[in-house]
């Protein structure tokens, strides 16, 4: 099979095509003939040399795929053979065939195109776990999510609105703010021209938001806390603005803030299977009937992975970038 890998970390141009053996599914695994693979920020960080794959995972980037199951391993349901699925994987998505844990797959409805299906798992699993499980978001509350036009941001906005939350988001241009409002944001703040702390507190009547989904970290953390409500929850999922933050602990104590965070990729297969089951029961019906859908930016061919990564790093995209690996049957 053809896969896109790299010999040493670097810029997008380090990618090169390689021929690898088609993997064989092990216990509870399925082999998927990949049609599309999502491109995500962790792929970029891996290519740069800062996010190695977990032990036992494929060194080939790619954390989400769509395609057809062409082989099943021992312990995987035989009826999955020939099923159209999308899957969260721990690596290997940038290839013509990819292994997935059978219980990390979601059946793709006929109403959903396979490019959109490949754009769903990574952001859906991440948002569901961090907003609703770690952040305890519930109906009637207000969520602040940074990067409102990213894959995570557009997914978080849509899901939060469907579960009865108000959503405030930030973006870097008026075009992006308008796109965020278009997928449901109640307030979109241009962080380059406006102070998001001031705008959030104005919007909430000084009460602040109940949950912050933070992808920036660094000096954003204290600013997030400054517009977080009493008993609010701050959930960090990325550190694009820096690994370290300095915060006022007296304010944290007085407002009873909870701070947490997570990374999904190294979690156990058992954890991801439980998460997939919860998503299937509570969120996936919204995708099956078209109520929620990934916001799509651009599709690149597999051989164009360098251009796809360059687009993500430039920050001009709105929604998800995906690779077309093969044509469906």
pLDDT at 329 over 90: no
Task: Give yes or no: residues 94 and 146 share one domain.
Answer: no
Q: Are 169 and 269 contained in the same domain?
A: no
Q: What is the CATH number of the domain that holds 64?
A: 3.90.180.10
pLDDT digits (tens, 9 = 90+) for 104-155: 999 999 999 999 999 999 999 999 999 999 999 999 999 999 999 999 999 9
DSSP structural state of residue 210: E
Whether 329 is in a domain gets the answer no
| Residue range 8-28: mean pLDDT, rounded | 98
Claim to verify: residue 223 and residue 250 sit in the same structural domain: yes
What is the distance between the alpha carbons of residues 37 and 115, in angstroms, rounded to a whole number?
8
**Both tokens of residue 239?**
């550190």
Residues with Cβ within 8 Å of residue 221, at least 6 apart in sequence: 214, 234, 236, 245, 247
Predicted pLDDT of residue 327: 81
* 3-state DSSP helix/strand/coil % of the chain, to nearest 5: 35, 25, 40
| Beta-ladder partners of 301 | 324
Identify whether residues 111 and 180 lie together within a single domain: no
Q: Kindly report, residue by residue over 198-231, the tens digit of the pLDDT.
A: 999 999 999 999 999 999 999 999 999 999 999 9
SS3 (DSSP) at 156: helix
Same domain, yes or no: 168 and 249: yes
What is the CATH number for 147?
Answer: 3.40.50.720
97 and 177 inside one domain: no
CB 64 within 8 A of CB 121: yes
If one counts the domains in the chain, the total is 2
Identify the domain containing residue 139 by its residue range: 124-261
């Amino acid at each position: 099979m053809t896969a896109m890998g790299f010999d040493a970390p670097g810029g997008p141009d380090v990618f090169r095509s390689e021929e690898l053996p088609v993997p064989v599914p092990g216990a509870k695994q399925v082999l998927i003939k990949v049609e599309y693979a999502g491109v995500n920020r962790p792929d970029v960080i891996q290519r740069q040399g800062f996010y190695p794959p977990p032990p036992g995972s494929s060194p080939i980037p790619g954390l989400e795929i769509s395609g057809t199951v062409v082989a099943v391993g021992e312990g995987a349901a035989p009826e999955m053979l020939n099923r159209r699925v999308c899957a969260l994987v721990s690596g290997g998505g940038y290839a013509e065939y990819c292994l997935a844990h059978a219980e990390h797959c979601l059946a793709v409805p006929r109403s959903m195109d396979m490019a959109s299906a490949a754009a769903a798992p990574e952001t859906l699993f991440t948002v569901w776990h961090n907003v609703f499980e770690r952040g305890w978001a519930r109906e009637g509350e207000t969520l602040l999510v940074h990067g409102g036009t990213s894959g995570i941001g557009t997914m978080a906005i849509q899901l939060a609105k469907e579960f009865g939350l108000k959503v405030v988001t930030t973006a870097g241009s008026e075009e992006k703010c308008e796109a965020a409002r278009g997928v449901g944001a109640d307030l979109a703040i241009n962080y380059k021209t406006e102070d998001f702390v001031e705008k959030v507190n104005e919007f909430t009547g000084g009460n602040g938001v109940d949950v912050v989904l933070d992808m920036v970290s660094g000096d954003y953390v204290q600013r997030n806390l400054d517009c977080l409500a009493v008993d609010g929850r701050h959930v960090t999922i990325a550190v694009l603005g820096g690994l370290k933050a300095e915060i006022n602990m007296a304010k944290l104590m007085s407002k009873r803030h909870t701070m947490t965070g997570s990374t999904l990729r190294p979690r156990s297969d058992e954890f991801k299977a439980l998460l997939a089951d919860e998503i299937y029961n509570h969120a996936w019906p919204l995708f099956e009937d078209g109520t929620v859908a990934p916001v799509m930016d651009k599709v690149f061919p597999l051989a164009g992975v360098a251009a796809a990564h360059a687009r993500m790093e430039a920050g001009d995209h709105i929604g998800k970038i995906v690779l077309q690996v093969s044509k469906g049957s």
